[in-house]
Structure formats: C-alpha cells, structure tokens
Amino acid sequence: MAKVIDYFFGIGSPWAFIGLDAFSEMASRHGAVIRPHVISLIEDNGGIYSRNRPEARRAYWTKDLKRWAVLRGKTLNFENRAALSDPTPAGFMVIAAIEDGLDWLGLTRALQTAFWTDAADIGRSEVRQAIANSVGIDGTKLEECAQAEATQSIWRSNIESAKNTGVFGLPTFRYEDELYWGQDSLPFLERHLNGEKIAV
C-alpha cells in the first residue's frame, strides 16, 4: 500500500517555497504519494501572518528565512515586494491544475520561484498565465478554471478541512494522522516514513 502524505501549503508562503524541492525529493525516495491541499494560514488555529508580528520577530523571521534559503539552494528577493499584489489567485490556479490532473508540482515551483526569487507580480492574471504556459500548461484555459466557483469551493473546503485537522501554519505535512509543521520538520517526517516515528 502506497504511503500518502497530505501536503498543506500556499504559493505565498516563503517556507513552502524553500522546502518544496526537499519535500518532493523525499516523497519520491520513499515512493510516497503527495496529496496536495492549497490553503491560507489558519488564523483561528493560531497562524500569524508576518505583518502582524512584532518588529523584533519579523526581523528574526527574515534572517532565518535567508539562512534556510542558503541551505536549500534557494534565492529569496525581499526588495520592492510592497508593490506586489495578493498571490492567493495563483493558489486557485494550482487547485485547478490538481483537479485537471496536470503537473501541479511543476506549476507550484514555477509560481513560487517567480514570486519569491524574481519578485514577479503573480497576483496579475497575465503573469500567472505566462508562467503556466512556460511549464507546458495552457495558461488561458487554466485561468478560466481557476476562477470557476467549483475551484473556489475547493479552496474553502481545503481551509475548513485543514482547520479541523489542526493545521495552522505553512507548510504542514500529515502522514498517518501525524502533523509536521514547517519545512524544518522534514527530518521528523522522514523518520516516520522510515518506520521510526518519534513517540511523544
């Protein structure tokens, strides 16, 4: 029986961006199936957006992101980000790709790289469509699906399911009903995949 990992993430999460490749490579090594759930932070469960944190914590958050980015071989661009629009619609596009059986992982990687490395405004429809086209997906068609009520309904359902599961931050991984929050928890997830779950 295949191992299945529920993956709760968002395109606008820098931590999800930093950990994406390490996670997907781990899942591949273990022959695990990734079951993706595009969501937002779950504030009702204690998720806190960086803009709502005290300055000292935001400063440390930025430094820690840069450290992890170096370790993961990622480039983060923090310049001129205030002008970028909400990346949430890019998540709708990924949901549409998931539903259509398309390469959602490749699309996610491309959208996150555009947003976090290139500071591209993926909140704009034409930018998202061009990125989808660049990974071999019909951007116009996918954008239409992304804006459909069915996709919006999945987004809301994903958030409600995550909330009921106890998820609060991104990314979060669930394997055999055990939650692992943050890309820095991947070593614990891998131990669990190896049958060496740490009992707590």
Active site residues: 13
111 neighbors 128 (Cβ within 8 angstroms): yes
The CA distance from 35 to 50, in Å, is: 27
The CA distance from 110 to 108, in Å, is: 5
- For the beta carbon of residue 75, count every other beta carbon within 10 angstroms: 11
At 108, the amino acid letter reads T
Distances (CA, A) of 81 to 90, 95, 108, 118: 16, 24, 19, 10
Angle, helices 149-165 vs 88-99, to 10°: value is: 100
16 neighbors 112 (Cβ within 8 angstroms): yes
Distances (CA, A) of 185 to 148, 190, 191: 35, 9, 10
